[in-house]
Amino acid sequence: MSSSHPVDDAAISAQVPLHQRPRRLRRTEAIRKMVRETQLSVNDLIYPLFVMEGEDLKVEVASMPGCYRYSLDLLLKEVSEVYELGINAIALFPVVTEEKKDATGTESYNPEGLVQRTVRAIKQAVPEIMVITDVALDPFSSDGHDGIVDENGVILNDPTVEVLVKMAVSQAEAGSDMVAPSDMMDGRIGAIRRGLDAKGYTNVSILAYSAKYASAYYGPFRDALDSAPKFGDKKTYQMDPANALEAIKEIDLDIAEGADIVMVKPALPYLDIIYRVREHTQLPVAAYNVSGEYAMIKAAGQQGWIDEKKVMLETLTSIKRAGADLILTYFAKEVALILR
């Protein structure tokens, strides 16, 4: 009957008309931009920065290529530069010299301490930028733990919280806009909120490291601060990587105690947690793209095994897509330069 070749006939009959062809919306860059669901913006980014004593110093962290410990004078330049690039917030971490560390972290609430001096200087030089200060004992502790350690090696909760309150108040006095407890002691958000309010710092907000896991991804950060625990690990206070429901419990507690923003940390191995937390709360959700996540991308990029820039953007987009409103990332400056 048909004059055409039997193979052609078979091909034609297999062409059922398709009403949906998703590839139509992927045809050109213009249409892809129009239907893009997740937009990474410089407004999402918080830039962690390391400050150390001294002058005119900028020392690269060996396990974090492209990240530096800055002395205060050079840090101020870096802060104004990133503010010019549109970054709204920095998270400050101090490199504390060994002789200033002790068992109870008293240096952490010294009004003339490195953090306090740095906050005052930034607030003078670049008053508009949000300064977020970390509240935890580890950079100040001779034991390298986030809490006070007793003679049996147990991390004491309530005595630690008392120090954390002093630290947070002292940071607020110096001009910190937002305090970020990263220690995982029980009840610290409520205690810090009460402590700040009692001193009149009702406008200082709390970014709570609520679901912070006992992660091996923090290694390079501990190199940067020389803050690795002198014994044991952090598993009695940071969360078990196997747990998800417990993250929601921690989030609920921190919200009840007065957190303004809740955080999941690390980010990439915990995208499911970010998603669950985003579904669960109306508060802004932050995620910490931690040092080990950064180091892996940098290392593979340096080897020429991956396209570092593309992997960086894909990773940060995935963290935002999972539900993070804010991302703490060492890539912040690089991303700001690209998005500009």
Q: Which residues are catalytic?
A: 212, 265
The DSSP output letter for 269 is G
| Shortest CB 237 distance to ligand PBG, Å | 9
The span from the CA of 201 to the CA of 195, in Å, is 9
Q: Which is nearer to ligand PBG, 63 or 205 (CB)?
A: 63
Helix, strand or coil, per DSSP, at residue 254: helix
Q: Which is nearer to ligand PBG, 182 or 210 (CB)?
A: 182
Tokens representing residue 84 in the block = 């010019």
| Shortest CB 256 distance to ligand PBG, Å | 22
| Shortest CB 146 distance to ligand PBG, Å | 5
| Shortest CB 163 distance to ligand PBG, Å | 13
Tokens representing residue 37 in the block = 């669901």
Tokens representing residue 256 in the block = 């009840």
In the block, residue with structure tokens 């191995």: 269
C-alpha dist (Å) from residue 252 to 202, 255, 332: 21, 5, 29
| Chain residues that interact with ligand PBG, rule: CB under 6 A | 134, 136, 138, 146, 182-183, 218, 221-222, 234, 290-291
Residue spans of beta strands (DSSP E) within the chain: 45-52, 58-61, 64-71, 89-95, 130-135, 148-149, 155-156, 178-181, 205-212, 261-265, 285-289, 326-329
Tokens representing residue 243 in the block = 């747990």
Q: Which is nearer to ligand PBG, 75 or 180 (CB)?
A: 180
- Determine the straight-line distance between the first and last CA of the chain, rounded to whole angstroms: 65
Tokens representing residue 56 in the block = 């005119």
The span from the CA of 210 to the CA of 184, in Å, is 7
Q: Residue 206's beta-bridge partner residues? A: 179
Q: Which is nearer to ligand PBG, 181 or 195 (CB)?
A: 181
| Shortest CB 236 distance to ligand PBG, Å | 13
Tokens representing residue 120 in the block = 């005052």
Q: Which is nearer to ligand PBG, 83 or 237 (CB)?
A: 237
Which positions ≥6 away from 113 have C-beta within 8 Å? 94, 107, 170
| Shortest CB 184 distance to ligand PBG, Å | 8
The span from the CA of 122 to the CA of 84, in Å, is 14
Q: Which is nearer to ligand PBG, 241 or 280 (CB)?
A: 241
Q: Which is nearer to ligand PBG, 134 or 177 (CB)?
A: 134
| Shortest CB 218 distance to ligand PBG, Å | 4
The span from the CA of 111 to the CA of 114, in Å, is 9
Tokens representing residue 7 in the block = 């193979």
Q: Residue 58's beta-bridge partner residues? A: 70
Helix, strand or coil, per DSSP, at residue 41: coil
